[in-house]
Structure 1
Amino acid sequence: MSENSQKNPDEIVKEQARVGFEIYELENWKLFLSALIAGLEIGFSLVLMGYLHTIFKEIYPDDILGLIVSFGYPIGFIFVIIGRSELFTEQTALAMIPVLNRSKGFISLLILWGLVLLGNLVGGLIFSYFFAWFGPAKGFVPVETLVELGEKFINEPIDIVMGSAILAGWMMGLLGWLITSVQESISRIILILFITIIIGMAGLHHCIVGSVEVLTAMWVSDSITVVDYWHFLWPSVLGNLIGGAIFVSVLKFGLTTNQISSTRKNINW
C-alpha cells in the first residue's frame, strides 16, 4: 500500500485492534509515564488559547472571540497524538476492543484506564500549577483570562456537563477511527484540527484539557474551589468514558468481531 492510499474498513479495524492489544503490553510504569507526559503536553492548548484570548479580547465580541480562541485548542492534541503519548479519551475506545473480544478481562481494563487517567490528571496538575505562575508573571496571559477560561466549565448543571462530555468522548473515539484510516502525518494533523476545533468551539467537556483549565483558574482565583473542580471532573470523566465506549461497541466491535478475532491471532508479540 502506498503512503497516500486510503485503508479499507477491514484494514482500519485490524489496525485499531492491533493498537488496542499492544496497549496492554506496556508495563504499568511506562503506561503511567506516557500518560503523565500526555497530561503535560495537553496543557499547551491552554497556553495558545490563553494567548489568543488575551490579544483579541479587546477587538472582537465574545462570540467571535470564542471562535478565535478555539483555534488554539488542537495544539495539545497534536503534540499528544502525533507524539504517541497515552491520552485517556483515546483509551476509552481502543482499550475496550480486547475486552469486548474476551482477550482481556474487565479488571485489566479498569487498571489501564485508571493508570492513564491518573497520569493525565497528574501531568495536567503539574502543568496548571506552573502556568498559573508563569503566564501572568511573563505577562502574556493575565490572571483574568485564566479565570475566564476556567469558569466556563464550572457553572453548568450536571446533566449538561454529562451530555457535553459524552459528545466530546464520542468525537474523540471518532478521531481515533479516522486517524487509523490514513497514513501520513499531515492528514492526521488535519483530522486532529477539525475534530478538536469542533470540541473547542462547542465548549464540550474534555476531562483532561478542561481539568488543566479549571485547575489553572483555581490556582489564581479564590472564587474557584476544589469542590468546583470535582463537580466538573467526575461527570466529565464519566461522560467521556460513555461516549468513547459506545462508539467502540456500536460502530467498531459490533460490526467487525471477526476481523478483530483474526487480528488477535496474527499479532506477533
Structure 2
Amino acid sequence: MADTRHVPSSRLASREKENVDNISAPRTLIVHEAVRKEGEEELRRPTSSLMWSALAAGLSMGFSMVGDGLLRAGLPDEPWRPLISSFGYSFGFLIVILGRQQLFTENTLTVILPLLYERSWVGLRDVLRLWAIVFMANILGTLLFAFCVEGTGVFSPEAKEQFLELGIHAAEPSPAVTFAKAIFAGWIIALLVWLLPLAGSAKPFVIIGLTYLVALGQLSHIIAGSVEVAYAAFAGAVGWGEYAIGFLLPTLLGNVVGGVGLVALLAHAQVMEEDD
C-alpha cells in the first residue's frame, strides 16, 4: 500500500495545496541551514567591522542594566518587584539583536554550526578569531558604559542605587554557582538565536520573552552582567579581582558550555543524517 501520510487531501484544490505547503512549519534542517549561512557570513567579515559592531553591542547592553534599574527605582520594594523590573533587562538585547550588532553569546551557536559542518583547523582558527575580537570589544563596551554611568549625573541617585544593587547581587554567588547559572543563560540565548529565523514579525516578543526569563532566573550573562558588576567595581563596592575571577571567567565558561554544548551540538546532531 502506498504511503499517503504526506500527500495533501484530494479534496483540496491546487491553490489550497500550495497554501498547505506555505503554512507548514519548516524542517529543522532548514532552520539549521539559515543559522549556518549567517555564521559563514559573520566569519567572513573584516576584523574592523567585527570590532566596531561588537563595541557597539557592549555599549548597547548597558541599557539592560539601565532598564532594569530604572524600573526597580520606580517600583515599591515588594516581593513582586522583579516580576516587572526584569522586563527592563530585555532592552539591551532588543537593541543589539534587532540592530544586528555582534554579541558574543549569539556566536556560541551561529559560528559553531559552520565549524561542525566542515570540521577543520582553519575553521577552528576562524571561530577563535571571531570570538576573541567580539568578546574583547563587547567587554570594552561594557566597561566604558559602566564608567560613564557611574561617574556622571545622568541618572538619579535612586536609579544609581539600584544599578549598584544589581552589580553587587550579580557578583555575590560563588564561581561554581555563577558557572552553573551561566550555563543556563548561554543555553537560553543560543535557543533564542535558533528561534529567530522562524519568528518573523514576532522577533521582538521572542527576544523579550527569553531574555526576561534570564533576568527573572537571575542567570549569569557575560555581557549584560559585565555592565552590572563593572558598575559596582567602579563604585568601589566590588573588587576588580572579584569582577575578573569571581564573575567574568566562570560566566564566560558557562555561557560557552550552554551555547555550544547544549544547543549547537544538539542542533547539529538533529540534522546530520538529513544533511548527508
TM-score by structure 2 length?
0.86
Deviations 1:78-108 (A, max 9, x none): 0100111110000011111111122652122
User: How many equivalent residue pairs?
Assistant: 253
Q: Does 1:86 align with 2:102?
A: yes
| Identity score, percent | 31
**Deviation larger for 87-96 or 145-154:** 145-154
What secondary structure is seen at the aligned counterpart in 1 of 2:109?
A: helix
Which residue in the other structure is 1:100 paired with? Answer: 116
Deviations 1:10-69 (A, max 9, x none): 32111011101111110011111111111111111111111111111xx242x3122222
Paired amino acid for 1:215: A
Change (3 A) 1:45 1:88: same
CA displacement at 1:173 relative to structure 2:
0.8
What secondary structure is seen at the aligned counterpart in 2 of 1:204?
A: coil
Distance in 2 separating the partners of 1:78 and 1:38: 11
What secondary structure is seen at the aligned counterpart in 1 of 2:80?
A: helix
TM-score by structure 1 length?
0.88
Which residue in the other structure is 2:33 paired with? Answer: 14
The alignment yields a C-alpha RMSD, in angstroms, of: 2.0
Q: Does 1:192 align with 2:207?
A: yes
Question: Match for 1:23 among 42, 45, 62?
Answer: 42
**Deviation larger for 68-77 or 97-106:** 97-106
Bigger relative CO (Cα 8 Å, ≥ 6 apart) = 1
What secondary structure is seen at the aligned counterpart in 2 of 1:224?
A: coil
**Greater Rg over alpha carbons, structure:** 2
Q: Where in structure 2 are there 5+ consecutive unaligned residues?
A: 1-17
Paired amino acid for 2:116: L
Q: Does 1:120 align with 2:138?
A: yes
Q: Does 1:204 align with 2:219?
A: yes
Which residue in the other structure is 1:224 paired with? Answer: 238
Q: Does 1:45 align with 2:60?
A: no
Which residue in the other structure is 1:73 paired with? Answer: 89
Distance in 2 separating the partners of 1:12 and 1:191: 16
Q: Where in structure 1 are there 5+ consecutive unaligned residues?
A: 262-269
Paired amino acid for 2:105: T
**CA contact 1:89–1:244 (8 Å) conserved in 2:** yes
What secondary structure is seen at the aligned counterpart in 1 of 2:199?
A: coil
Distance in 2 separating the partners of 1:203 and 1:41: 20
Q: Does 1:55 align with 2:74?
A: yes
